[in-house]
Structure 1
Amino acid sequence: MVKKPTAYAYSRISTRAQLKGDGLRRQLAAALEWAEEHPDIEFDPTFVDRGISASVGLHRETGKLGVLLNMIEAGTIRSGDYLLVDEFSRLTREIESEALHLLTSIIRKGVNVVTLVDGEVYHKHSTSLELMRALFTMSNSHNENKERTRKVAKAWAEKREEARLTGKKLSRRGPAWTVFNERTKHFDLIGDRADIIRGIFAECIDGLGITAIAQRLNANKVEPFVAGSDGWHQGYVLTILRSPSVMGFYQPTLTSQRAHKRMLRQPDGDPIPNYYPKVVDEETFDRAQAMIALRNKRGGGAGRRGKRFPNLIMGMGKCEACGGTLVVTNHPNSARVRSFRCYQANRKQNCDNRQTYLCSDVEEWLTVFLMEARMEAAQPLPDQTDLTHKLSARRAIQVKIDNLNDTIEAAERGEDVSSTRIRLAERQAEASKLDKLIEDLRTMLKHQTRMVGVDAVEEAAKWMDSLRDEDTEDIYRNRAKANAILLALYDTIMPVEGGLYILSNGKGWFVNDEIYAELDVEDRRPITRKELEMSATWTKTTMI
C-alpha cells in the first residue's frame, strides 16, 4: 500500500508580542482550510516558530524550520510531500540569494512548497517564470522588512534623543529594583530592593566575592529579583555590581541579530544620567569596581573561601623559595591547626620548599606589624609615581620636539633637513606612546582605592584585632574585610622561619616576636627571599 503524501504546515511570528495578536491563528486556519480541500493528503500542523526573526536566518538555525529542513535532508519528509506556508515572508525575509537558495534546496528534494495566500505550488519542475515570480515576492518581503527596520530604528533614535534632551522615558521597563510611576512618568525605587543592592555593594567593598554574597543572600532567604528564579546566583550579583543603572545611568544601545550568535548590543552614544533613581553614588560604584579588579588581579575571584575565610593573606602570600602562591593546609595531626604551604611544592612542581608556616604565627606577626607600623606621611601610590615620571618624560620630549621644529623653521631654503625631520618623527612617536600611557594611568587612578598613611594602617590593625574574637557570628565577613584592606596596602607577605617579610611599592618590613624593622628594596617586587635580601637595605630596627 502506497503511503499518502503529507502536508507539513509551517507557521511563524517574529516577536513574542505578536502572540497576543491573531497572526498564528490566521496562519493555522489557512493551512487547515487547505488540508480540508485535499482530503487525500495527511496533515501535520505542528511546526511553529514563536518569536523568531526570519531576516538573518535564525529560524533555520534554532527554530522549527531548521527541524523541517533536517527532516527533508534526511528523507523523513519524502519526495511528494508538501510544505505549507501562509506566504513567503513566513518562510524567509533574507536577502534574495539566500531566499532563492532556501526555496530551491527544498523543491530539489521533491518537496512541494505551497503559498496559501495565493494558492501557488512550487516544485522541482517549476518554470523559470514561476521561480522569478517567487523571487520577486521574496525580494519584496526582504525590502519591506528592511524598510520597516529602518523606520523603527529612526523612531527609536528620535526617542533616544528626546530622552537625552528632556528626560522622557523610552519605555516603562526599567531595572528590577525600579517601578514605573504612571502618574509622574518616571521610575521609582522599590525600597527593600534598593536596600539589598546597597548591601551587595557594601559587602563587595568589604572584600566579599560574588559567590559569598550570593550564598549570604540565599542563607538569609532574601527573595531574588528574577521571578521564578531558584535563588541568587553569582552571575546576577556581578551583573548588579557592574551595572551603571545603579547610579541612575541609562545606556542606549543598538541591537542586531546574528545567525549562530547571541543578539549583539552596542552602545549608542554616551549614557544618559539621572534616567533612573540613584541607588548608590559614583564613589561607591568605583570602589566596588576597584575591589572586583583587585580580587581578580590577585587571584581572589575563585569562589567562597571556607566558613571563616582561612587564608587571610590570599593574593599576597608568597613562597620564600620560588615566589609562588601560598595556600592553607590542615596540620597532619589536627583539623583545627592550619598552616601556609607553597602550592607548587605541595604539588611537587618547580619548588622543593617543604617548610610550613603556622597560620596563627603569621597572623600574630601581622598584627604586631600593624600595631608597630607608623607611616609619617602618605606614600605615593605606584600609579601616581608612574604618572609623575611619565608626565616629566612627556614634558622633556615636548621640549625636544619644539627645538626640532625651530631648527626646521630656521633652516635656509634648500638646506637638507631630512635627518632633523626623521628625529622629529621619532620624538613625536615617543610622545604619542607616552600620551597613551598617561591616559591609561589616569584612568586607573580614577578607580584606585589603595589606602595610605596612618589611618589606613590603623584601620587594618583594628580589623586584625577584631579577629581575635572567634565566637563572632560574622567571622567570615570580618576576615574578608581584613584581607581586602591588606590587599589595598601591601603587595607581598612572605613568611620565613622566625618572621615575616612585608612589601609595598619599594618599601619593606620584617617583623617577628622581638623586632620590627624597616627596609628599602631596590627591586620593586622581588620574587624570592634570596632576591629580597640581596636587594634590601635595613634602614631602621626597633626592639619590640
Structure 2
Amino acid sequence: MDTIIYVRWSSAEQSKGDSKERQLGLCYDHAKRNGWNVIRPPVIEEGQSAFTGVHLRLGELGKLQREFEEDKYPNGVILLVERLDRLSREAPGQFFLWLSAMTQKGVTIATVDGNRTYRGNLDMATIIEVVVKASLANDESVAKSGRIASAWANKRARLAAGDTQVMTARIPGWLTITEERTFAVDPGRAATIKRIFEETVQGAGKHTIARRLNADEVPTFGRSSAWHASYIQKILNSPAVLGEFQPGVKPRGAARTIVDQPVADYYPAVIDADLYSRARVSMQARSRKTLGKGRRVANLFSGLGRCDTCGGKMTMRSKGAKTRADGRIVHEDYLVCDNMQRGVIRDTGDKCHNNVRFNYGVVEDAVLDAILSDALDDTHFAEGSLSHQLSIEHAQLSMDLDRLRRKAKSTLDLLGDDKGDQDVKEAYRQAKVGQDNLKIQIAEVYDRLLLARGHVSPEEHATRIASVRADMHSADEDTRHRARTTVRLAINELVSELSFHRKGRRVGVKLLSGSRNITISGEDGRITFDIAPSKVSAATSDLSDRQERARDRVLESNRSRRRQI
C-alpha cells in the first residue's frame, strides 16, 4: 500500500544528533517488513514543536493534512511515524479529533512503536489507547516546559542578585565565552559594530552598509558568506551593543516574549550610549525617505517639500549635467509639483495649476544660507571633545531613566486589584524616587553640556559651516556624500515643511515648532525672515534632545536679530 513517512523533532539541537536518522531508519525498515510502498521522499519537520500545534498550522504536517482533505490520495494512503507523539503532543481531546478526522478521510495512521495501525471508525478500545498515549505525551511536554520555565526564572533571579556568570550559550555574535564562564569581546567584531553605527550616523542605510562591508571583505559573524541588510538592522536595533540583556521566554513552538526588566551591564558594551542615540536619530530621519538617488544625495528636501496649491509632494526633475562656459559641470535640477506633472485630478475635480519649476540650486543655497548655522551643532562634527563625553553621559542617564519608567509601569501593573501588596508598593515608590534623582542628574549634565558646547567660538563654528558647504561640492565622491548626508540629516531635524507657492514663485520654510518662518524668492534666492513668529510650541516629548537644542538655537538667533533691528 502507498505510504508516506513523517519525521519530526522539536528543536534544532536534536538535529545535530541521531533523531532524524533513527526515525528514518526505523520507518523504512517497518515499511519494508510490511511490504508497503513509500511513494515520495519523507516529510521532514525540523525543529517544530508538537506541543502547541504550530506544526499543524504552519508546518509540513499541516501541508500534508490539506493534501488529505483535498482527496489527493483517493485510493488511501498510510502515514507512517515512529510514535504517535511525533504527530502531536497537544491535549488528548484535540489530538483524538485530528486523528479521527484523518482516518475518516481514508488515511491509515501507522506507528513503528507497537506495530500499531489506526484506520476508519475507531473502536472503544482503540479510542482509549489513543487518548492514554496522547495524555502521557502531553503531560511530559507540560512538565518539561515547566522545568525549563523554572530554570530560567532561577537564572533571572541570579541576574537580579548581581551574578556575572554567563546564563546561556546564546550570545551576541561579537562576544565569546571564556573558560571561567564570563564574556570576552572579539576586538575585530567590536570594531565592525562601531563602524556600522558610525556609518549609520553619517546617513548610510543598511543596504549601503552591507554593500560596503562586503566590498571591504569584512568577515561576517556567523555561517553566512556575506553581510545582509536584515542583519545590519538587527544589530542597529539591539540594546546588547550597550551591554543590556532583555530576559525572555520562548515556549516551544511559539514566539519569544519579553519578561521582567532589562538587565543593564550584563554584556560588555561595545559602543557608547551617545553613538547609539545618534544612530537612532539618523535612522528616524531616514524613515522619512529623505535619501536622494545615487551617491549625490541629490535632493536635500525630499519628503519635506509640498505644493501650496494642491498639497502634493514636490519632486525633483533633472535635465542632466551641463558644462558652463568656465568649464564647471553643473546639474540643472528643478523641483516641480508631482500632481501637476502627472496630471492628477484632485478631490475638487481640478488639476493642479502650479506649473512653476523651482530651480533646485537656488532653493538649496538660500535654505542653507538661512538655517545651516542653526541646524548644525558640534554633534554633527568630529568626536573626542568634552561635549562628546558629556553627550555620552547624558544619553546613558536618559536610557537609565527610560528603563526606570518601564520598571515603574510594570510594577504598577503587578499591583492589579491587590492594592494592599506592600512589597510591590515599595518597589514602585523606589522606582519613582529613582526617576526623580535621575531627572536632577540629567538636568545637571545638560547644563554642563551646554557650557561645553559654548567653548566653540562663533568664528570657529562659521569656519566649520563653510568647510561642510565646500565639501558638499567636493570632487571626491565619499567626501561629497558624507557632507551632503550630514546636512540632509540636520535639515530634517530642524525644518518641518517647505511650501512652494505659484504666486510670486516663492518658497515658505517653516522651522520646528513654529520657531521661525522664512520666505525665499524662487527667482533669485532672496531671503526674508519672520523673526517674531506668532506662536512657538512648548517642549514636546516628540522632539529629540538634538531637535530641542536646534529649536533653542533658532529662538536665540531670533532674539539676536531683533536686537539688531
TM-score (norm 1): 0.72
Letter in 2 for 1:486: I
Distance in 2 separating the partners of 1:502 and 1:125 = 78
Of the three residues 333, 339, 354, the one matched with 2:334 is 339
**Residues 375 and 491, structure 2, Cα contact 8 Å, conserved in 1:** no
- 331-340 or 107-116, which moves further after superposition? 331-340
Equivalent residues in 2 for 1:189-338 (5 A)?
189-233=185-229, 235-256=230-251, 263-296=254-287, 298-300=288-290, 305-322=293-310, 324-331=312-319, 336-338=331-333
Residue 179 of structure 1 and its aligned partner are, at CA, apart by: 2.1
Distance in 1 separating the partners of 2:138 and 2:375 = 73
Distance in 1 separating the partners of 2:526 and 2:5 = 87
Of the three residues 89, 113, 133, the one matched with 1:137 is 133
What is the Cα-based RMSD across aligned positions, in Å?
A: 3.9
Gaps of 5+ in 1: 376-438, 526-538
Q: Which residue of 2 aligns with 1:170?
A: 167
Of the three residues 68, 92, 97, the one matched with 1:96 is 92
Q: Which residue of 1 aligns with 2:394?
A: none
1:23/1:208 CA distance change after superposition, 3 Å: closer
Residue 479 of structure 1 and its aligned partner are, at CA, apart by: 0.2
Letter in 2 for 1:270: Q
Residue 269 of structure 1 aligns to a residue whose secondary structure is: coil
**Residues 518 and 527, structure 2, Cα contact 8 Å, conserved in 1:** no
Letter in 2 for 1:265: R
Q: Which residue of 1 aligns with 2:545?
A: none
Residue 514 of structure 1 and its aligned partner are, at CA, apart by: 6.1
Aligned length: 452
Structure 1 residue 482 corresponds to structure 2 residue 487: yes
Residue 485 of structure 1 and its aligned partner are, at CA, apart by: 1.6
Residue 480 of structure 1 and its aligned partner are, at CA, apart by: 0.6
1:287/1:99 CA distance change after superposition, 3 Å: same
1:304/1:503 CA distance change after superposition, 3 Å: closer
Q: Deviations over 1:298-327 (max 9, x none)?
A: 443xx6632210112334334354454332
Residue 138 of structure 1 and its aligned partner are, at CA, apart by: 0.9
- 364-373 or 79-88, which moves further after superposition? 364-373
- 147-156 or 320-329, which moves further after superposition? 320-329
1:372/1:160 CA distance change after superposition, 3 Å: closer
Q: Which residue of 1 aligns with 2:51?
A: 55
**Residues 340 and 358, structure 1, Cα contact 8 Å, conserved in 2:** yes
**Residues 162 and 168, structure 1, Cα contact 8 Å, conserved in 2:** no
Equivalent residues in 2 for 1:362-401 (5 A)?
362-370=363-371
**Residues 517 and 542, structure 1, Cα contact 8 Å, conserved in 2:** no
Q: Which residue of 2 aligns with 1:360?
A: 361
Q: Deviations over 1:413-438 (max 9, x none)?
A: xxxxxxxxxxxxxxxxxxxxxxxxxx
Distance in 1 separating the partners of 2:38 and 2:368 = 80
Letter in 2 for 1:50: E
1:75/1:464 CA distance change after superposition, 3 Å: same
**Residues 248 and 279, structure 1, Cα contact 8 Å, conserved in 2:** yes
1:344/1:197 CA distance change after superposition, 3 Å: farther
**Residues 370 and 527, structure 2, Cα contact 8 Å, conserved in 1:** no
Q: Deviations over 1:128-177 (max 9, x none)?
A: 12211211111111111111111111112212322332022122231122
Distance in 2 separating the partners of 1:344 and 1:132 = 71
Gaps of 5+ in 2: 323-329, 347-351, 377-435, 538-560
Residue 494 of structure 1 and its aligned partner are, at CA, apart by: 4.8
Letter in 1 for 2:61: L
Letter in 2 for 1:145: S
**Residues 314 and 336, structure 2, Cα contact 8 Å, conserved in 1:** yes
Q: Which residue of 2 aligns with 1:406?
A: none
1:278/1:317 CA distance change after superposition, 3 Å: same
Residue 6 of structure 2 aligns to a residue whose secondary structure is: strand
**Residues 295 and 477, structure 2, Cα contact 8 Å, conserved in 1:** no
1:295/1:37 CA distance change after superposition, 3 Å: closer
- 120-129 or 219-228, which moves further after superposition? 219-228
Letter in 2 for 1:280: I
Rg larger for: 1
Q: Deviations over 1:360-381 (max 9, x none)?
A: 2123223433588799xxxxxx
1:521/1:118 CA distance change after superposition, 3 Å: same
Of the three residues 64, 68, 75, the one matched with 1:72 is 68
Distance in 2 separating the partners of 1:321 and 1:457 = 38
Q: Deviations over 1:231-276 (max 9, x none)?
A: 332x322221111011011111112356xxxx42211111111222
Residue 100 of structure 1 and its aligned partner are, at CA, apart by: 0.4
Residue 264 of structure 1 aligns to a residue whose secondary structure is: coil
Residue 520 of structure 1 aligns to a residue whose secondary structure is: coil
Residue 99 of structure 1 aligns to a residue whose secondary structure is: helix
Letter in 1 for 2:258: P
- 287-296 or 91-100, which moves further after superposition? 287-296
**Residues 77 and 108, structure 2, Cα contact 8 Å, conserved in 1:** yes
**Residues 204 and 288, structure 1, Cα contact 8 Å, conserved in 2:** yes
1:509/1:461 CA distance change after superposition, 3 Å: farther
Of the three residues 73, 82, 88, the one matched with 1:86 is 82
**Residues 516 and 529, structure 2, Cα contact 8 Å, conserved in 1:** no
TM-score (norm 2): 0.69
| Percent of matched pairs sharing the same residue | 24
Q: Which residue of 2 aligns with 1:427?
A: none
Letter in 2 for 1:249: E
Distance in 2 separating the partners of 1:333 and 1:240 = 39
Letter in 2 for 1:356: R
